[in-house]
Every structure is written in C-alpha cells, then in structure tokens.
Structure 1
Amino acid sequence: MKARSGCKYAAYHEAGHAVLCHYLGRLAWVCMLVDQDPKRPPSYGGTLETRRDRCITDYGGVVAQAKYQRKGIEAALRTARESDDIRFINKEACEESSACLGRTADDIKAGWLARAREMVRQHWPAGEALAAALLARKKLNAYQVTEIIAKVTATAGR
C-alpha cells in the first residue's frame, strides 16, 4: 500500500509540473519513472521569463502533491527542501534578488509560489486527470497531455 501511495504522490507531483508547463506554454513531456527520464540539458539557462516559468512550474509539483496529500504547503516545502526543484528555485531567487533592488529572495519565491498555488487550484481537474493517466501509462508526451487537458476543459465548459 505504501508503494502504491508513493506512486500516487509522484503522479500528482509530476501532473502539477505538467499542467503548469502546459498553461505557461513550455511543455515537452512528463514522466514519473525514476531515472528513466530523458537526459535534461546540463544548463537551465534561458531568458529571465523562461527561468521564472521554470520556478513556478517547479513549485507546481510540490503544490499539487501537497493538495493531493491534504498536506500544508509549508510541510510539503520542508519535505522537498533538498530536491532539485527547490534548489533551482532558491538559486534563481537569489540571483534575481541581487539584480532587483528592494526585493528579497523570499519575496520573489513567495510570488512564484502564489502563482503556482493559484494555477494548481484553477486547473485541479486537469491535474487529477493527468495524474490518473500517469498512473496508468507512466509517461505522456506533450500531445497526450494537451489532449487530456482539452477533454477536461471541454467537460468543465458544459
């Protein structure tokens, strides 16, 4: 049962990333198979906008998993503090705060987290549908994610 719960947590976490990527226009694929993801590029460079979107998306995974687990966001962030997602967010917030007078890294992270929370809340039915699909298939390409989200959106619009 515990392993199955872990799979569900991972599915919701990855679905959170995928939904936010979709709505931010940056989705390529989503996978919940540990160590079987395609190699990511060694650098997450890009424009300030793409790096901010990545931070919002990284928070989206934690937010969606916490929502599924009915866990407070602060507890979820403490659990995730050593993850690659949170390390990237911390690095980007520090870099951005040093370039922005009057904005601390904590202020910047709070803004990204608020955006992620709102997007996950707004698109929760799509996240649930993607998590179910990930549990069944383990991996989805961008077309499959878009198709699932479109079906959920069409159903909600009726």
Structure 2
Amino acid sequence: MANSPEMRASDSDRDRVAAVLREHTAQGRITMDEFNERLEQLYKSKTYGELARLTADLPDVDLRNLPAKKPDSAPQHSAQGAAMQAAWGAWAVASGVNWVIWLIVSVTSGDLAYPWPLWVMGPWGVILLVSTIVGGHRPRRR
C-alpha cells in the first residue's frame, strides 16, 4: 500500500528523512544553513507530503548502500597519543602530590627531609619516557 501525501508521518519517518538530509549535507549538496532550515521544517511536518517536499530537489539516497569508508591508521595513532598523554598526566599528578607531601613533612619537622618522591617519579618517568620514544615504532598486531 503506497503512502498518500495526506497520510500522517511517524517519528521514525522523520528520523529517516533527517538521516537523508544529513547525508546530503555530508556530500555537499546542501549547506549547513539549508540543513538547519530543513531540519526545523522536518520536525514541524505532519504528513508524508510535507516530508517529501523537504527532499524534492535532492536525488534519492539509499542509506543502506552508502560507500564504506576506508579504515586508516590515524585513529590508532591518535588513540595511542591520547593514552600516552593520559599516562604522563597521571605521572605528573602523582609526582606533584608526592612533592607536596614531602614539602609539608619537611616544613612541619623543621628539617629538610630526604627527597623520597624521586624514587616514585624516577622509575615511573623512565618507563614512560622509553614507552613514549619507542612506543610509536612497535609492529602492529592484527
């Protein structure tokens, strides 16, 4: 049974048209301003006829058969970079907390305490430094 233009549209119908509009925006057929205007009209639309007018000047898009994007290695590199940045951040925070504790102990005892935070931040920092330098050159596992 074909949908007549006067038949009321559902939320899922509106979502389908929104996906088509997003795809046309991604392909450069409509600008972001046009997309926003059409999207505003889309959610005011009540019938199939109103929905059809929003895409009447655009070619049909089969959302199930969009070309697959090629996987590239950039996301992996950025994920590795983000992980290393987080590791260095954790090292810096832990080192800072240890130095603050050392400073409080030194000030309250009236004597300069042994710089024990070096034993916390030193080995950990060396491991992070080696991982940062060598980490980008490891062979990838599949």
Compute the TM-score of the two structures, normalised by the length of structure 1: 0.25
Greater percentage in helix:
1
Larger Rg: 2
Higher RCO (C-alpha under 8 Å, 6+ residues apart): 1
Compute the TM-score of the two structures, normalised by the length of structure 2: 0.27
